[in-house]
């Protein structure tokens, strides 16, 4: 589990360094997330979930109000913001200083979450492709940005998996976009290969194996594999049955250099980071 201690992002004047990997915990305020156990919809359910992930040691809380699974119902910007507000209010009331990420591809929703609730990070599954105003908003607000690779929309992405070389093509796309963002003045970029987004099962594993190549891009790398098709489909199980293999794959992602793992279950992920950090310390002492 090699990490580059010099990698960091600036969160409202506070430096988050990646000498130790971070756990990004998902709080979905949706009735139709692909992983049923992650769904929270009432204010009481959201408050309970937020308390849980904080108590279990989440480094970042990622709040989403729009399911990206194929076939999910469309959600208006107004409804998405209403849902996100429930989560942001819960976090700010329970742990005002917690680092909060907002999972949205809409520029105006991102703007309101930052200005009205102090959201710290914008996690954009569109990588700037689903809303042409997103990058301008990120540059204006000067907040860290998760740049994820995808193609098409959540409804069409699985018809767009034709790559010449999936690793080279994804790295090239992310590098080009990161350069554009840097030119716009965005300095804090986290890159995400986009596991499950416009990729086949086999392509997802090609990308996972290539995480060391993504880390050489000089930006923190996020791996979001939790309960995804790449896990449960080849095993012939359901998303709800894929907790143990998710933990195993998160451990592999950390060993291969992920700086952030995005997860549905916080405690197993926190414990995995702790155990691998102990191993890393032992191997470092031998070298």
DSSP per-residue string spanning 235-255: HT--GGG-HHHHHHHHHHHHH
Place of tokens 């700037």: 128
pLDDT of res. 40? 66
- One digit per residue, pLDDT tens: the chain, 287 residues? 444 446 999 999 999 999 999 999 999 998 755 555 555 668 888 999 999 999 999 999 999 999 876 555 789 999 999 999 999 999 999 999 999 999 999 999 999 999 999 999 999 999 999 999 999 999 999 999 999 999 988 889 989 999 999 999 999 999 999 999 999 999 999 999 999 999 999 999 999 999 999 999 999 999 999 999 999 999 999 999 999 999 999 999 999 999 999 999 999 999 999 999 998 877 666 65
Quick one: tokens of 264? 């549905």
Give the CA-trace dihedral at 128, 102, 267, 33, to 10 degrees: -80
pLDDT of res. 280? 80
CB-based burial label for 94 (10 Å; 0-12, 13-18, 19+): middle
pLDDT of res. 72? 57
pLDDT of res. 4? 44
pLDDT of res. 5? 46
Catalytic residue set: 228, 262
pLDDT of res. 3? 41
The pTM (predicted TM-score) of the whole model is 0.92
Q: What is the C-alpha to C-alpha distance for residues 122 and 138, in angstroms, rounded to an integer?
A: 8
User: What class, spelled out in words, does domain 20-286 have in CATH?
Assistant: alpha beta
pLDDT of res. 101? 98
pLDDT of res. 154? 85
Measured from the Cβ of residue 188, the count of other Cβ atoms closer than 10 Å reads 18
Closest by CA position to 10, among listed 164, 170, 158, 190 = 190
pLDDT of res. 286? 64
Domain borders along the chain are 20-286
Please, which residues have CB within 8 angstroms of residue 39's CB and are 6 or more apart in sequence?
28, 30, 31, 32, 33
């Amino acid at each position: 589990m090699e990490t580059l201690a010099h990698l960091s992002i600036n969160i409202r004047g506070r430096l988050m360094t990646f000498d130790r990997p971070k756990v990004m915990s998902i709080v979905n305020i949706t009735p139709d997330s692909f992983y049923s156990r992650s769904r929270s919809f009432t204010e009481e359910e959201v408050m309970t979930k937020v308390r849980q992930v904080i108590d279990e040691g989440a480094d970042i809380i990622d709040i989403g109000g729009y399911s990206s699974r194929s076939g999910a119902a469309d959600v208006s910007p107004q409804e998405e913001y209403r849902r996100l507000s429930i989560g942001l209010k819960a976090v700010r009331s329970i742990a005002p200083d917690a680092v909060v990420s907002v999972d949205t591809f809409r520029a105006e929703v991102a703007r309101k979450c930052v200005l009205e609730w102090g959201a710290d990070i914008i996690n954009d599954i569109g990588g700037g492709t689903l809303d042409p105003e997103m990058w301008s908003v990120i540059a204006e607000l000067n907040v860290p940005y998760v740049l994820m690779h995808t193609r098409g929309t959540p409804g069409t992405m699985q018809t767009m998996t034709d790559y010449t070389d999936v690793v080279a093509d994804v790295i090239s796309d992310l590098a080009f976009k990161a350069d554009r963002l840097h030119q716009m003045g965005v300095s804090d970029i986290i890159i995400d290969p986009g596991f499950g987004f416009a990729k086949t099962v086999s392509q997802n594993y090609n990308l996972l194996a290539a995480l060391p190549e993504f880390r050489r891009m000089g930006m923190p790398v996020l791996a979001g594999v939790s309960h995804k098709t790449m896990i449960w489909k080849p095993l012939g199980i359901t998303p709800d049955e894929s907790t143990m293999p998710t933990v195993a794959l998160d451990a592999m992602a950390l060993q291969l250099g992920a700086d952030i793992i995005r997860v549905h279950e916080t405690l197993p992920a926190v414990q995995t980071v702790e155990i691998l950090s102990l191993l890393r310390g032992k191997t470092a002492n031998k070298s």
